[in-house]
Structure 1
Amino acid sequence: MNSTIQRNLFADAEPPPPTTDLFAEVVFDRPLDHAFTYAVPDELRDRVAIGKRVLAPFGRGDRPTPGFCVRLSRTAPERTVKALVRVLDEEALLTPDLLRLTRWMADYYLCGWGQVLNAVVPAGARDQAGTRALAFLEAVPEDELPQPRPSVTTKQQAALEELRRAGKPVELRRLAQLVKCGSGPVEALIAKGLARRVVRRVDRFSETDEPVEARPPVTLNADQLRAWAPVEQALRSGGFHAFLLHGVTGSGKTEIYLRAIEETIRQGKEALVLVPEISLTPQTIAQFRGRCGEVAVLHSHLGNAERGGQWRRVARGQVQVVVGARSAVFAPARQLGLIVIDEEHEGSFKQEATPRYHARDVAVMRARLENIPILLGSATPSLESWHNAERGQYTLLSLPNRVLDRPLPKVGLVDLRHDLPRGGPWHALSPTLERAMREALRDGGQVMLLLNRRGFSTHIHCPACGHVEACRFCDLALTYHRERHVMLCHYCGYET
């Protein structure tokens, strides 16, 4: 008897079967490897779409939780499912190519698909930061005007003519400025049925109004021409092709990047440029703007509002080039034609928080998925990229000389065991370094000393025989800490 009552109680608690034939698969910001199926109510059928965020009951208590819709299906699941609560976005935040890329990342880096999607879309884009709702005015079409037509004043007639001349909604304050009147005549047009108010959400941050100095392309030298030829051919023929541009500092790698970007823009496509965070200087950005037109900048130092505005500019196709640090690899470019990674060896391209990814590897996979060329440049390529070039996975391009045959800086390695002061105590500065510093200061130059160490002395060695005290476990030089009067290994913690 009691068991029968319990079964009836549970049966009554089950949700009624859905009356829709449309179902959405949703992933959440959780470490889960699968999507959850929800029924799409009739009132949400026209709004739901792949790549949009939705609000769905999830977890204990069916708490409304935001997630990403990753698939729509008309095949009903075998079990009863819950229904979506609301669609959160007006437009899809993710392109089909980005969905494929993030699915690969979830599998490759062993994390939830929802976690990847949540990290890919910046908070400013999710929350519509940097936007505000503004009231616009538009003229009522002729066939919808009230009959008989009400009389209007001179200012009202001027405002109405300005609306018809614009042919599109005009912001209320802007209309008042154009007609040189207050808000009274404008509001009167609405009251008389000659104009109507529409509310639109607009960006606070638009494209930069700063003047851009046009920079003509420079003449390539022989090394640059040899490196540019296969890149130009790959851009014109299309398809995935990975290049590793190995060039010494000052060899003109940036000019190869700019030429490739210009060729991409000529084809009506967009380019994505990844640079280390430290390289995102105003001079670098100005260099791209001077040659490549509209440029969007994405990096971690932007506020949510400005970053959201830049993201929306990219999604709308209002820029030709996206320049940014690690997270810019997920820029929602619709017509991507080229990816460039400068200083591809940099460790700052690694993301240390979930999802833990390497932007260089993600960029290579994105280029492969979207079937476009990718150009990696460095003066000191990473071992992984160099190995891929040796295996034939990447095409190796070399720029062995600096432009205009400028000499490379002299690098000297000083052995402190043999470079000792004469007739005096030992100093932290070797005689060779001290002479070089004095010469630079005497000539009016500057000197920069980098001291990257902990402790009073990075090592203790015998000037006579050259013996260095080392860790008995790691075979690394022990660091002398004068305050504690100990020698310490900073690798394993051994001290003596």
Structure 2
Amino acid sequence: MTPPAQQQLFDDDPLPWELAAEEDVECAEVVFNRPMEQAFSYLVPEAWRGKLRAGQRVRCPFGRGNRPTTGYCVGFSRPKNAGKLKSLLEVIDREPLLNQHMLDLTQWIGERYLCSWGQALNTIIPAGVKNYAGTRMRTYFSIDEEALTRLGETNLPTKQAAVIAALRAAGEPLQSKEIEQSADCGSGPVNGLKNKGILRVTRRRAAASPPSTDAVEREQDLTLNPEQRTALEQILQPLRSQKHETLLLHGVTGSGKTEVYIQTIREVVSYGRQAIVLVPEISLTPQTIRRFESRFDSVAVLHSHLTDAERHRQWKLISSGNVQVVVGARSAVFAPTTHLGLIVIDEEHETTFKQETTPRYHAREVARQRAKMAGIPLILGSATPTLESYARARRGIDQLITLKKRVSDLPLPPVSAVDVRNDPRCVSGSGIGRAIQTAIRTAVEDGGQVILFLNVRGHSPVLWCKACGEGIKCPNCDITLTWHKDRHLAMCHTCEFAIDPPKTCPRCGHAAVRYFGIGTQRLEEEVASKFPRYKCLRMDSDTMRKRGSYETALDAFRKGEVQILLGTQMIAKGLDFPNVTLVGVIDADTILHQPDIRAAERTFQLIAQVAGRAGRSSKGGRVLVQTSSPDEPAIQFATAHDYVGFVHAEIQHRREMQAPPFWHLARVILRGLYDDEVVEFANSMATVLRKAAEESDLPVRVLGPAPAPIMKLNKFYRHHFQLAAEQAETIQKLWRSVAAKLPKSSNVEYVVDVDPLNMR
């Protein structure tokens, strides 16, 4: 029976419906973007046999209703009961979107992060690539040599002969306009040859010409100091021996880690291979791109601020093999490089390398697996490595390389903790205490620049009723609203709920609503009022919304047009401004007191990283850290630039808590519109897992359930529990052994977060 005609992607492909004899039937194994682990077998119509390849998308009839559904071909088989199988409806892609290496990697992601293979595949291929953004179907002409011989080339008119000559000179099919330009003719000769059957017509997708870019001035490699040369030689050993090894480059801020990366990549490129460099923040990308473009001939970029068309163009350029270096954020770990020789993750400690939607992968671990599969080195660089990475290096699993000094022997800036409990200005609500105010004035009057760090957006982060003592919370979330003065709105930073600032308390009705706390907007006002002669620029997610805003802001600061730069964590790492002589941390306690096992580690990392922005030239610099907890070990170790001391103290605490890096965690988060249903479902799921762990004698602890720290989010009530074990594989084994037996509910959803970083 012939199915109804349907629209095809490629006009020159036939509609393939006839099937061969059953013993010769080839079946495609297809996975879907759904939480189902198994692959489904579909008959491959004869016209597609030998043409369909793993890594291409296909459309298949799925489910009882045979609804056309897009899936991914991941392999082939020849089942005995092929006659009972459904047939593929359509092949979507002319060429595979992924090679076998990337298919194997995505299968590993599904196993490691407890999601389906199809979900992993759907995540790593950008939307712009899947919908062919920036392209359209175009008509191409080529010569049918048999028809030309039959009709006689000598009998062609002059203009038609010129068309034939132009096509032969090109050596490939051309569009009509290209032929007309080369043959110096109009459309008539082309149409005439087409009507005679001498020109073969095909249609395929083609991209528009890429926009022109400004040339970047080339720079020479810098001279390495002895520490950098030693580090480079250590990295080149596994590179030259062509074996996989993970190398942790622990270098203090300003020690020249990037130059070590660049000179390592130069060696990789000399072998005709490619490198991937991951950076944590889009704000770092322009600076990093400029550095690499000044050293290498071809650099591609992948990050979330690209349009779909730009992302598709970059993806195709990378997959062509004509790119030496790929620079990007988390998703660039999936760049379709054809000759990968090295992966570098800069600022490897950053939490932005963890994906917060399914599949909840960590780019560091994916990079480790990709490098292992390819047999190439992986470099992890940071001044403040995660405890997990440092512990692996100390145990000898990875190689530890240390840069203890800054380039040119510049000293690390002195860091002082300022106790705001003893500062009357801070006690009365000011963000800038006496010590920082005096230091700012001294720095700018001496021609230096200042960075002020505050990891809180908005004007006032707390709306509070003086009469009843309650905070004014978002109706959808268990979060206090933040006052955004520039928009005249009280907003929720989670669900974007926004209202006019309430004049009366919604709980008690009294006109006693007060604004408390300091955000970046209020800090900007305070700086402007205290230092009106100097230009101040704020960088946070509210001001950096426009395309190109990062580049514009950082360029203005680099040129000295701005004297005071303030912002959130996007200014805390990786930026290199030699004229910065003062860094002020306005509130070091914003993360320290959160209910999170990594709170101390993140506090130390933020202070150390933002402190590293100062003193990067002969002018020197200093750092002032305002805190109400100056005796906390994390702050004391940070002010002393003592990473190793902090690690030794924190690692003992983690061991006692049976927490990472000694134990692995998987967090199950459940949500629903009704709290009692979520509680009941969470309890029943945890009970099934506990029982399965006991019966199978798997050493997995089930912790909880309990209300999530933010119990209500986007109108959903949330509860969670954790699975803890010394080996990640133990948790995977337990989960997969009971996945089919877990209770079901149409009213409660759940996700599994393996190695969670965000515990809210």
SS in 2 for 1:136: strand
1:112-127 matches, cutoff 5 A: 112-127=116-131
Aligned counterparts of 2:158 and 2:363: Cα–Cα separation in 1: 61
What's 1:350 paired with?
Answer: 354
What's 2:259 paired with?
Answer: 255
User: Which residue identity does 1:364 align to in structure 2?
Assistant: R
What's 2:435 paired with?
Answer: 432
The reply on whether 1:310 has 2:353 as its aligned counterpart is no
Do the aligned partners of 2:58 and 2:72 also contact (CA within 8 Å) in 1? yes
Residues 364-418 of structure 1: CA deviation (Å, up to 9, x unaligned): 1111111110001011111111111111111111111111122323322112345
The reply on whether 1:65 has 2:77 as its aligned counterpart is no
Match of 1:368 among 358, 365, 372: 372
Deviates more, 1:345-354 or 1:297-306: 297-306
SS in 2 for 1:292: coil
Instruction: Give RMSD over aligned pairs.
Output: 3.2
Aligned counterparts of 1:275 and 1:169: Cα–Cα separation in 2: 40
Residues 73-126 of structure 1: CA deviation (Å, up to 9, x unaligned): 124258932222222211111111111111111111111111111111112222
Residue correspondences, number: 454
Aligned counterparts of 1:191 and 1:147: Cα–Cα separation in 2: 12
Closer, same or farther in 2 for the Cα pair 1:73/1:196, shift >3 Å? closer
User: Which residue identity does 1:383 align to in structure 2?
Assistant: L
1:290-439 matches, cutoff 5 A: 290-418=294-422, 429-439=432-442
Do the aligned partners of 1:146 and 1:193 also contact (CA within 8 Å) in 2? no
What's 2:96 paired with?
Answer: 92
Closer, same or farther in 2 for the Cα pair 1:456/1:187, shift >3 Å? closer
What's 2:279 paired with?
Answer: 275
Aligned counterparts of 1:85 and 1:108: Cα–Cα separation in 2: 32
Closer, same or farther in 2 for the Cα pair 1:65/1:419, shift >3 Å? closer
Match of 1:242 among 225, 240, 246: 246
Closer, same or farther in 2 for the Cα pair 1:285/1:438, shift >3 Å? closer
Do the aligned partners of 1:133 and 1:201 also contact (CA within 8 Å) in 2? yes
Match of 1:442 among 445, 461, 464: 445
Aligned counterparts of 2:122 and 2:377: Cα–Cα separation in 1: 27
Deviation at 1:146, TM superposition (A): 4.0
Aligned counterparts of 1:392 and 1:179: Cα–Cα separation in 2: 67
SS in 2 for 1:281: helix
Closer, same or farther in 2 for the Cα pair 1:374/1:44, shift >3 Å? same
User: Which residue identity does 2:88 align to in structure 1?
Assistant: L
Do the aligned partners of 2:285 and 2:327 also contact (CA within 8 Å) in 1? no
Deviation at 1:18, TM superposition (A): 5.2
SS in 2 for 1:90: coil
The reply on whether 1:183 has 2:190 as its aligned counterpart is no
The reply on whether 1:74 has 2:78 as its aligned counterpart is yes
Closer, same or farther in 2 for the Cα pair 1:483/1:255, shift >3 Å? farther
What's 2:471 paired with?
Answer: none
Deviation at 1:452, TM superposition (A): 4.5
Closer, same or farther in 2 for the Cα pair 1:395/1:152, shift >3 Å? same
User: Which residue identity does 1:349 align to in structure 2?
Assistant: F
Aligned counterparts of 1:323 and 1:151: Cα–Cα separation in 2: 56
Do the aligned partners of 2:160 and 2:189 also contact (CA within 8 Å) in 1? yes
Deviation at 1:486, TM superposition (A): 11
Closer, same or farther in 2 for the Cα pair 1:139/1:48, shift >3 Å? closer
SS in 1 for 2:254: coil
Q: Which runs of 5+ in 1 are unaligned?
A: 1-16, 459-480
Deviation at 1:194, TM superposition (A): 5.0
Do the aligned partners of 1:314 and 1:333 also contact (CA within 8 Å) in 2? yes
Deviation at 1:147, TM superposition (A): 3.3
Deviation at 1:184, TM superposition (A): 2.6
Aligned counterparts of 2:365 and 2:405: Cα–Cα separation in 1: 28
Do the aligned partners of 2:25 and 2:82 also contact (CA within 8 Å) in 1? no
* Structure 1 moving runs of 4+ over 6 Å: 424-427, 454-458, 485-493
Structure-1-length-normalised TM-score? 0.82
1:446-461 matches, cutoff 5 A: 446-452=449-455
What's 1:467 paired with?
Answer: none
Aligned counterparts of 2:366 and 2:347: Cα–Cα separation in 1: 15
The reply on whether 1:287 has 2:281 as its aligned counterpart is no
Structure number, greater radius of gyration? 1
SS in 1 for 2:140: strand
Do the aligned partners of 2:285 and 2:328 also contact (CA within 8 Å) in 1? no
Aligned counterparts of 2:134 and 2:440: Cα–Cα separation in 1: 51
User: Which residue identity does 1:240 align to in structure 2?
Assistant: H
Aligned counterparts of 2:79 and 2:355: Cα–Cα separation in 1: 38
Between the aligned residues of both structures, percent identity stands at 47
Do the aligned partners of 2:22 and 2:83 also contact (CA within 8 Å) in 1? no
What's 1:50 paired with?
Answer: 54
Deviation at 1:24, TM superposition (A): 1.8
Aligned counterparts of 1:265 and 1:340: Cα–Cα separation in 2: 14
Aligned counterparts of 2:141 and 2:124: Cα–Cα separation in 1: 36
Deviation at 1:303, TM superposition (A): 1.7
Aligned counterparts of 1:128 and 1:487: Cα–Cα separation in 2: 49
User: Which residue identity does 1:243 align to in structure 2?
Assistant: L
Deviation at 1:32, TM superposition (A): 0.8
Closer, same or farther in 2 for the Cα pair 1:38/1:170, shift >3 Å? closer
Closer, same or farther in 2 for the Cα pair 1:241/1:437, shift >3 Å? same
Structure-2-length-normalised TM-score? 0.55
The reply on whether 1:230 has 2:234 as its aligned counterpart is yes
Deviation at 1:23, TM superposition (A): 1.8
What's 1:14 paired with?
Answer: none
Deviates more, 1:120-129 or 1:277-286: 277-286
What's 2:107 paired with?
Answer: 103
Do the aligned partners of 2:27 and 2:78 also contact (CA within 8 Å) in 1? yes
Do the aligned partners of 1:239 and 1:371 also contact (CA within 8 Å) in 2? yes
Do the aligned partners of 1:56 and 1:85 also contact (CA within 8 Å) in 2? yes
Do the aligned partners of 2:56 and 2:72 also contact (CA within 8 Å) in 1? yes
Closer, same or farther in 2 for the Cα pair 1:363/1:207, shift >3 Å? farther
Aligned counterparts of 1:83 and 1:259: Cα–Cα separation in 2: 52
Closer, same or farther in 2 for the Cα pair 1:168/1:363, shift >3 Å? same
SS in 2 for 1:376: strand
SS in 2 for 1:318: coil
User: Which residue identity does 1:80 align to in structure 2?
Assistant: K
Aligned counterparts of 1:490 and 1:154: Cα–Cα separation in 2: 81
Aligned counterparts of 2:594 and 2:298: Cα–Cα separation in 1: 49
Closer, same or farther in 2 for the Cα pair 1:148/1:315, shift >3 Å? closer
Deviates more, 1:33-42 or 1:357-366: 33-42
Deviates more, 1:359-368 or 1:278-287: 278-287
Match of 2:43 among 14, 34, 39: 39
User: Which residue identity does 2:84 align to in structure 1?
Assistant: T
Deviation at 1:176, TM superposition (A): 2.1
Closer, same or farther in 2 for the Cα pair 1:136/1:38, shift >3 Å? closer
What's 1:134 paired with?
Answer: 138
Deviation at 1:321, TM superposition (A): 1.7
Structure of greater relative contact order (alpha carbons < 8 Å, 6+ residues apart): 1
Deviates more, 1:101-110 or 1:42-51: 42-51
SS in 2 for 1:57: strand
Deviation at 1:301, TM superposition (A): 1.3
SS in 1 for 2:418: coil
Aligned counterparts of 2:83 and 2:189: Cα–Cα separation in 1: 60
